Amino acid sequence: MKQIIIEGGNTLSGEIKISGAKNSAVALVPASILCDEEVTIDNIPNISDIDALKEILKHLGAKIKSTDSTLSIDPSSINNKEIPEEISKKLRASYYFMGAILGKYKKAMMYFPGGCSIGARPIDLHLKGFEALGAKVINEGNKYIVEAEELKGANIYLDIASVGATINIMLAAVRAKGRTIIDNAAKEPEIVNVATFLNNMGAKIRGAGTSTIKIYGVEHLHKCFHEVIPDRIEAGTYIIMGALCGDNLKVSNLIPEHLESLLSKLEEIGVDFEVGADFVTISRSEKYKSTNIKTLVYPGFPTDLQQPFTVLLTQCKGKSKVTETIWENRFMHIPYLTSMGADIVIKNQTATIIGPTPLKGTEVVATDLRAGAAMVVAALLASGKTKITNVEHILRGYENIIEKLSNVGAKIVLKEI
């Protein structure tokens, strides 16, 4: 077990470089299976979710080579077999192997994925999509066998614009016969990144980033080189830290357009920041105004930044409201924030925050990845020492967080307990 200890109240200044996007990389790695030759993906973040995906690739018999941030995957030696529960449950994104393996080998055998406990997280839309393409789904307990004699293009309407279902159906449809149309598709930048990767291999996907994606099936996919986009959620987390503790903190190697909903909220509450071509420089101000946020699918305010942003709202004058519409269980950070001194009441899916309130260091838990990020934000701001346990969640999604924060002046250590 690991613990992060932070001595709060220090100013953050200097530069933090953003890594490759977790939620893109975790789809690109399974997507590589669809190729007939070796693919190379650059800007892969060094996080434990990627280690778990590499374990699955090795289990299947793929040849992989990693150097620093580059991962080369040759899937030609894969022997399609069941993915055991102990590895599939290490992360949510293991479900992308279902779409990719089905697309390539017409039969996928694996267990229900794991990931943060932020809601029920069903995969019914993924499975309905596979069925629409002609697959049969057999579900025994936690195990799924998805099989098709032939996959045929279909028109698929998603009841919810799900990121995972959009990507998984795209993966299954890439080598199907004919044309697939996904309507009410999710529009997140990670989906565009995955579609670009597949197109670089010779797939014909049009419209990724809009709510209608058309996939024209192809027979072969060839080698390619691809780059993971910068992580907009990691960037947003450090930008929020800058708004609370920064003095000219430069958060670089990001795509500002991917952060528009966050930046416009920062502007509204009175944060002082400058946006460059690929960076945001941010300093804390004395006074912030309260505001309301509602999490929505992209380009709305991202649910993955809701938890860190709530910490910022504790420092805004007046009453702010946070409404979570994507995940039913994403307020687990709130009791820990109140134990640090925040004034927050939850009713149904809305948290009401009265600020500003000083925060004081104490012992808290990272109940999930972004709740953990929120705890780090709060601890950096708080007076005194904060001990965060269950930090394995944080390390699943934030590359070198200890080094990145130490380099800009934070007093933060990771300890084995």
Residues labelled catalytic: 116
Residue nearest to ligand EPZ (CB): 164
Contact between 164 and ligand EPZ per CB under 6 A = yes
Q: Looking at beta carbons only, is 279 or 298 nearer to ligand EPZ?
A: 298
The residue from 62, 93, 154, 241 that contacts ligand EPZ (CB under 6 A) is 93
Q: Looking at beta carbons only, is 217 or 372 nearer to ligand EPZ?
A: 372
Task: Output the smallest distance, CB 60 to ligand EPZ, in A.
Answer: 19
Asked if residue 361 lies in contact with residue 336, where contact means CB atoms within 8 angstroms, the answer is no
Task: Give the count of residues interacting with ligand EPZ (CB under 6 A).
Answer: 26
Contact between 4 and ligand EPZ per CB under 6 A = no
The residue from 163, 171, 174, 229 that contacts ligand EPZ (CB under 6 A) is 163
* H or E element in which residue 369 lies: helix 369-381
Count the Cβ atoms, other than its own, within 10 Å of residue 111: 19
Task: Output the smallest distance, CB 126 to ligand EPZ, in A.
Answer: 5
Reference 180, options 159, 207, 145, 209; nearest CA is 207
- Amino acid 371 reads A
Contact between 326 and ligand EPZ per CB under 6 A = yes
Asked if residue 281 lies in contact with residue 274, where contact means CB atoms within 8 angstroms, the answer is yes
Pairing between β-strand 350-355 and β-strand 224-227 as defined by DSSP bridges: unpaired
Contact between 90 and ligand EPZ per CB under 6 A = no
Q: Looking at beta carbons only, is 349 or 352 nearer to ligand EPZ?
A: 349
Contact between 31 and ligand EPZ per CB under 6 A = no
Contact between 126 and ligand EPZ per CB under 6 A = yes
Task: Output the smallest distance, CB 125 to ligand EPZ, in A.
Answer: 3
Contact between 98 and ligand EPZ per CB under 6 A = no
Q: Looking at beta carbons only, is 74 or 304 nearer to ligand EPZ?
A: 304
Q: Looking at beta carbons only, is 316 or 326 nearer to ligand EPZ?
A: 326
Q: How far apart are the first and last CA of the chain?
A: 5
Report CA-CA distances (Å) from 402 to 115, 120, 392, 395.
Answer: 22, 31, 13, 10
Which pair of tokens denotes residue 371? 């709740």
Residues 266-325 touching ligand EPZ, rule: CB under 6 A, are 303-304
Contact between 116 and ligand EPZ per CB under 6 A = yes
Contact between 21 and ligand EPZ per CB under 6 A = no
CA atoms of 310 and 318, how far apart (whole Å): 14
CA atoms of 204 and 170, how far apart (whole Å): 11
Task: Output the smallest distance, CB 264 to ligand EPZ, in A.
Answer: 18
Task: Output the smallest distance, CB 15 to ligand EPZ, in A.
Answer: 24
Please state the φ and ψ torsions of residue 352, each to the nearest 5 degrees. -110, 125
Count the Cβ atoms, other than its own, within 10 Å of residue 413: 12
Contact between 124 and ligand EPZ per CB under 6 A = yes
* H or E element in which residue 335 lies: helix 334-339
DSSP, collapsed to helix, strand or coil, labels residue 318 as strand
Return all residues near 189 (Cβ < 8 A) that are at least 6 apart: 21, 24, 209, 229, 232, 255, 258, 298
Q: Which residues contact ligand EPZ (rule: CB under 6 A)?
A: 23, 26, 92-93, 116, 119-126, 160, 162-165, 186, 303-304, 326-327, 369-370, 397
